[in-house]
């Protein structure tokens, strides 16, 4: 086969499947850098687990009688909900509760993490940065 035909054959080959969640996979930290969360697959969903926490963050959770912060899934059951947007539940460790949430990729190194309670009437957002 000539080089031109090889090039043409390669161009016609189907592109490998790209995981739509791949861009969000990685390690992210909250605005105060008190917690680092590693995102990854959990079944067919996206989740995020605490891999690092400041002593203050760990003590805040422990003082309220909740399980240790390291290893806790903060992001739970997120499903793609549009381009660069996921919906799921965010667990707030020092409250011991999970709330409806969306995560939106602002750019390759920035997430807007938004959690809402009372049916979406009261919401709070944080900007998380990639480590």
Per-residue tens of pLDDT for the chain, all 131 residues:
443 333 333 333 343 333 555 789 999 999 999 999 999 999 999 999 999 999 999 999 999 999 999 999 999 999 999 889 999 999 999 889 999 999 999 999 999 999 998 777 799 999 999 98
Closest CA to 92 of 75, 104, 107: 75
Q: What domains can you pick out in the chain, each with its CATH number? A: 21-130 (2.40.128.520)
pTM of the model: 0.81
């Amino acid at each position: 086969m000539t080089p031109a035909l090889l090039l043409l054959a390669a161009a016609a080959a189907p592109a490998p499947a790209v995981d739509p969640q791949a861009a969000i996979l990685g390690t992210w930290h909250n605005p105060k850098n008190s917690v680092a969360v590693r995102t990854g697959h959990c079944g067919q969903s996206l989740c995020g687990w605490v891999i690092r926490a400041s002593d203050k963050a760990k003590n805040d959770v422990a003082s309220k009688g909740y399980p240790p912060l390291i290893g806790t899934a903060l992001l739970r059951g997120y499903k793609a909900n549009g381009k660069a947007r996921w919906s799921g539940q965010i667990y707030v460790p020092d409250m011991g509760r999970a709330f409806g949430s969306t995560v939106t990729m602002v750019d390759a190194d920035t997430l807007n993490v938004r959690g809402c309670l009372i049916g979406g009437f009261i919401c709070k957002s944080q900007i998380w940065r990639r480590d």
